[in-house]
Amino acid sequence: MTTDLDTIAMLRDSLERYSADRYSFLQRAPLLQLPGAFSAQTWQDFAEFGWLSLRLPEELDGLAGDAVAVGALMEVVGSRLLLEPLLACVVVASGLLLKQGSAAQQAELLPALAEGRLKLVLSHGVSHELCRYAEGRLSGSQQAVLHGDIAEQLLVPARDAEGQLRFCLVEASAAGVSRQAFRLVDGRGAANLQFAAAPASLLQPQAGAPSAEQALAEVCDEASVALCAEALGVATSLLRITNDYLKVRQQFGKPLAGNQALQHRMAELYLLTEEIRALTLAAQQAMCLPAAERARTLSGARAYISQAARHIGNEAIQLHGGVGITEELEVSHYFRRLMVNAALFGNRDEQFLRFVELSLADA
């Protein structure tokens, strides 16, 4: 999939204008009070602007967006802390359907995703345990599934009777499906899912499609690249907000920005942000490489970005003082988003271990 640079620039500009007009920090606050922190009107706006069809092929009226195009979207998601399931639906669910769905399944589900009529979420919780599928029924559980509380359908990886990995499509409201909804520390919704012989259908890969294991690995890598771009958006906003605060906050009659020690700390944060930008671009470009090389580059970038972004968040809060951890200040919300994202699709330690193993194998 490729997207030209002009289209990517238009995509980024349109999302930035929309979020600047309708998704400021004060406008975002009421959305956190909605069930699942989900605004149906905002989701429909995303569909009308075409952002939900970013990854769809051109024959389905999509943009066939590549990792750089997805990164442009996710960078704004991070900079504005958008709450809607763009990662779950636009990147993960759409990507998995394109890899493992039959032509009929794609024709039915992908337009519904693009038009905002369907919220489809991969049930990929933090436990990494697989459910069991037999004779059209799904059993097992998944823990802490992001946006699992508002999903209308679920894609659940499971082992069939022969021990093969398959992807099951389940109605979230079906008999045998129970959800325990809760809020994550950053305000987004999640759910613990339990499947007790729930009716399910299987995705039917087309001829030449990758194996289920390969498809899951590719989708997780695509999600990780998107999370790198989101971390860049968060880091950029934290740098801007902290820099502005130091210019107006005065101590002993002078702005804190005049303190040379604080200037050095801000310079360090700027350099870390630029390193995140460079590694995000490297990870996006690596998506075109062979699987092993792609995984090594991506895992190294994700591990470093997770650590660097967390350091930027720590410094931003410390430079704001005690008020930095309060609900009323933006920096605390950015910091919490980094905490949650760091646990998605492989935490820092898992990514670093994968990077080391692949590097040693290559050597």
On the question of pLDDT at 90 being above 80, the answer is yes
pLDDT of residue 272: 98
On the question of pLDDT at 243 being above 70, the answer is yes
The first and second tokens of residue 248, run together, are: 């107006």
Helix (H, G, I), strand (E, B) or coil at 140: strand
pLDDT of residue 88: 96
Entry pTM: 0.95
Helix (H, G, I), strand (E, B) or coil at 136: coil
Instruction: Locate all alpha helices (DSSP H) within the chain, ordered by sequence.
Output: 5-22, 25-31, 40-49, 67-80, 86, 94-100, 103-114, 212-248, 260-286, 291-320, 330-341, 348-362
Q: Quick check: 115 and 82 in contact, CB under 8 A?
A: no
* CA separation, residue 239 to residues 189, 232, 320, 330, 349 (Å): 27, 11, 12, 12, 25
* CA separation, residue 65 to residues 106, 113, 224 (Å): 17, 15, 16
pLDDT band at 2 (very low <50, low <70, confident <90, very high): low
Instruction: Write the pLDDT tens digit of every residue in 188-227.
Output: 999 999 999 999 999 999 998 999 999 999 999 999 999 9
Least confidently predicted of 62-66, 239-243, 274-278, 286-290: 62-66
pLDDT of residue 184: 96
Give percent above pLDDT 90 in the chain. Answer: 85
Average pLDDT, integer, range 253-260? 83
Q: What is the Cα–Cα distance from 284 to 224, expressed in whole angstroms?
A: 10
DSSP per residue over 226-248, as a string? HHHHHHHHHHHHHHHHHHHHHHH
Helix (H, G, I), strand (E, B) or coil at 261: helix
pLDDT of residue 75: 96
Average pLDDT, integer, range 159-179? 95
- In CATH terms, the superfamily for domain 5-118 is Acyl-CoA dehydrogenase/oxidase, N-terminal domain (1.10.540.10)
Return the CATH architecture of domain 212-362: Up-down Bundle (1.20)
Q: What is the Cα–Cα distance from 261 to 9, expressed in whole angstroms?
A: 37
pLDDT of residue 127: 64
Helix (H, G, I), strand (E, B) or coil at 274: helix
pLDDT of residue 126: 66
Domain with CATH 1.10.540.10 in the chain: 5-118
Average pLDDT, integer, range 324-338? 94
Q: What is the Cα–Cα distance from 278 to 237, expressed in whole angstroms?
A: 17
Domain with CATH 2.40.110.10 in the chain: 121-202
DSSP per residue over 87-117, as a string? IIIIIIIHHHHHHH--HHHHHHHHHHHHTTS
Q: What is the Cα–Cα distance from 120 to 94, expressed in whole angstroms?
A: 9
pLDDT of residue 296: 95
Q: Quick check: 191 and 152 in contact, CB under 8 A?
A: no
* CA separation, residue 97 to residues 63, 68, 92, 153, 356 (Å): 16, 20, 9, 13, 31
Instruction: Write the pLDDT tens digit of every residue in 40-64.
Output: 999 999 999 999 999 998 888 888 8
259 versus 87: which is more confidently predicted? 87
Say which CATH topology domain 121-202 has. Answer: Butyryl-CoA Dehydrogenase, subunit A; domain 2 (2.40.110)
- Of residues 355, 343, 341, the one with CA closest to residue 304: 355
pLDDT of residue 124: 81
